[in-house]
A and B are shown apart, each in its own frame.
Chain A
Amino acid sequence: MSERDERTERAMPRYAILIYEKETPGGVDDIPPEVMEANLSAGEKIAAMGARVVHEQALEPSSATRTIRKGGLVTDGPFIESREVIAGFFVVEAADLDQAVAIGRLLPIMDGAVEVRPLLAV
């Protein structure tokens, strides 16, 4: 490896993949099996693309959220009231933005959307 390659060779960039969905009354139990299946098999497909899942988390319903506001006031519920809420997130290492978006496309969308956001490189 030449000197220049070492300088330009970097760790793969990281992206947050945020999953927004409409909340269902029964929570996880209401998620259709094919959606669950697609979510569960995403990991293998991501690995097959040569990308890596760093973190993967599903969130409890937003009703369990507590929000701390300016001045220290703590309230129930999420900071931003919306029909769709963050239901889960991934942090992935991908080759570039296009690959991160391709990973985002693997995740099924019922009513919401999937957001792909580059993480600040430190």
Chain B
Amino acid sequence: MTPVQRAVADAHRREWATVLAATVRVTRDLDLAEECVQDAYVAALDAWTRGGVPSRPGAWLTTAARHNALDALRRARTLRSKLHLLVEPEESGAEVPGGPVGEDGRAVPGDRLRLAFLCCHPALAIEARVALTLRLVCGLTVPDIARAFLVSETTMAARITRAKKKIAAARVPFRMPGPEELPERLDGVLTVIHLLFTTGHTAPAGPALTKDDIAGRALDLARMLHGLMPEQREVRGLLALLLANHARRATRTAADGRLLPLEEQDRSAWDREAITEAHELVLTALPGGAPGRFALQAAIASLHATAPTYAGTDWEQILVLYDALLEAWPSPVVALNRAVAVAMVRGPAAALAEVEALEGDGRLARHHYLPAIKADLLRRQGRNAEAATAYERALALAGNDAERAFLAGRLAETAPP
């Protein structure tokens, strides 16, 4: 990679959302804006090779992309697709086409937020929100996104196009939600970023590089959001949660690809810097009224990450946090994870009763963690035959090879000879 190629790649990763959001203001059309930004990046490679990398690459790209957009609009109005976007006039005064955009030729920071809220709008199906966020906010190519989600490029392209059409047809606005909508809408954005991260974190299959990249992009998004909304405690919570989990990325699987439970992971190989950052964020995300679900999940992840050993983890405190989390977010998956903490504090028999109470919940019917956790609780009580049955059930539901290998190993230990 030449220094110029690297500069363009860096600008792509760091500035894409800013450049696109500023261009959308001119085109009021997502497709045309995307095309203009793509062309600006192509032009940058050539221009920067000849004239050197500009001191503010983002500003250079924004100017170029908006220039392309104005040209296109002047050349032919027929270029406009039907994906007309509802763009509100900028708060910072009237929009002058080609004129200044916020300070020093960059988009106003709020534009990137608007873009994120647009992509994560509840009117879109969840998989469309995820795909659109990667395409429009992160600037990932359609083939890359398709690879990460194990679907064909055609399928992914159609998914993204459908989402854009829906935005245009239903008139989903390119604007920040009002104060009364904000908590719910922000939670929607955080959920999409978290989902992206877990997709990368425990991807069903596919090349490791793509998975790591997706998790890294989710972390970038969380950082971007934190930079733009530093006062939001749940944003701090999400960033902390991602950091605490990301810190353990090197130890989640053994050399042979087998999944390692938390208990067996080499804690000396965890990323201390990320853990410290997560811990400090948690301290600022918890106080000030009832903490939200991301702050509480981050607090739990941070306690795990800072514990000297698995047995030496502050399980009592984790259980207290789970109780609060269950109140903030009454979900059967949370109740199931809480059962693991119950087992550590009150023993496997008490936890088993709680897991069995959840078995009737239809929302967990396809969830392989339930039989897997049940099996482990039975195994720890020496009830091997029953444990084996539960491991078989978990194996039938698990889709990820590393998890299947782990469960098969446990099954071999517990199955009657």
Using a CB–CB cutoff of 8 Å, the interface residues on chain A facing chain B are 2, 4, 7-8, 10, 13, 95-98, 118, 120-121
**Known: A8-B28, A118-B171, A121-B169. Contact between A98 and B97, CB under 8 A?**
no
B171 touches A4 (CB 8 A): no
Collect the chain B residues with CB atoms within 8 Å of residue A118's CB: 169-171
A97 touches B171 (CB 8 A): yes
In the complex, the 10 A-B pairs of residues with the closest C-beta atoms, listed nearest first: A96-B173, A118-B170, A13-B171, A96-B171, A97-B170, A97-B172, A96-B86, A97-B171, A8-B28, A118-B169
A98 touches B177 (CB 8 A): yes
Across the two chains, which residue of chain B brings its CB closest to A14? B171
A95 touches B173 (CB 8 A): yes
| Cα distance, A98 to B28, chains bound together (Å) | 18
Collect the chain A residues with CB atoms within 8 Å of residue B173's CB: 95-98
B73 touches A96 (CB 8 A): no
Using a CB–CB cutoff of 8 Å, the interface residues on chain B facing chain A are 28, 73, 77, 84, 86-87, 97, 121, 123, 169-173, 175, 177, 181
| Cα distance, A8 to B172, chains bound together (Å) | 15
What distance in Å separates the Cβ of A83 from its nearest Cβ neighbour in chain B? 21
Collect the chain A residues with CB atoms within 8 Å of residue B177's CB: 98
Max count, chain B CB within 10 A of own CB: residue among A95, A96, A98:
A98
What distance in Å separates the Cβ of A15 from its nearest Cβ neighbour in chain B? 8
**Known: A118-B169, A121-B169. Contact between A97 and B123, CB under 8 A?**
yes
| Cα distance, A4 to B121, chains bound together (Å) | 27
What distance in Å separates the Cβ of A102 from its nearest Cβ neighbour in chain B? 8
B97 touches A4 (CB 8 A): yes
| Cα distance, A8 to B170, chains bound together (Å) | 16
Across the two chains, which residue of chain A brings its CB closest to B96? A2
Collect the chain B residues with CB atoms within 8 Å of residue A13's CB: 171
| Cα distance, A7 to B175, chains bound together (Å) | 20
| Cα distance, A95 to B174, chains bound together (Å) | 12
* Seed contacts A97-B121, A97-B123, A97-B170; 18 additional CB < 8 Å A-B pairs: A2-B97, A4-B97, A7-B77, A8-B28, A8-B84, A8-B87, A95-B86, A95-B171, A96-B86, A96-B172, A97-B171, A97-B172, A98-B173, A98-B181, A118-B169, A118-B170, A118-B171, A120-B169
Collect the chain B residues with CB atoms within 8 Å of residue A10's CB: 84
12 of the cross-chain contacts (CB-CB < 8 Å) are A2-B97, A4-B73, A7-B77, A8-B28, A8-B87, A10-B84, A95-B86, A97-B173, A98-B173, A118-B170, A120-B169, A121-B169
What distance in Å separates the Cβ of A64 from its nearest Cβ neighbour in chain B? 32
What distance in Å separates the Cβ of B99 from its nearest Cβ neighbour in chain A? 12
Collect the chain A residues with CB atoms within 8 Å of residue B86's CB: 95-96
What distance in Å separates the Cβ of A7 from its nearest Cβ neighbour in chain B? 7
| Cα distance, A13 to B177, chains bound together (Å) | 18
Collect the chain A residues with CB atoms within 8 Å of residue B73's CB: 4
| Cα distance, A121 to B172, chains bound together (Å) | 14
